[in-house]
Amino acid sequence: MANHKSALKRIRSNETKRLRNRYQHKTTRNAIKKLRDSDKKEAEGLLPSVISMLDKLAKNNIIHDNKAANLKSKLTKHVAAL
């Protein structure tokens, strides 16, 4: 167990950040699934918001930059092929 006040605070803040990251990541994954299951008109409307979510996750190091780029590329190709 932590022995210092600062270590206890770090434990609390790490847990808060972990939960926030998990929520954002799960929300983005659900948005990607919704985009993949939607028709062309709805998918075109959802694509900018999903790309924005992926960019934010990559910026905050929740996912890797290359993973975000790969997902954006695949989703854009998917929407174009509808």
pLDDT tens, residue by residue, 45-79: 999 999 999 999 999 999 999 999 999 999 999 99
Q: 4, 80, 3: which is closest to 43 by C-alpha? A: 80
What domains does the chain contain, in order, with CATH numbers? 5-81 (1.20.58.110)
pTM, rounded to two decimals: 0.85
Q: How far apart are the first and last CA of the chain?
A: 54
DSSP 57: H
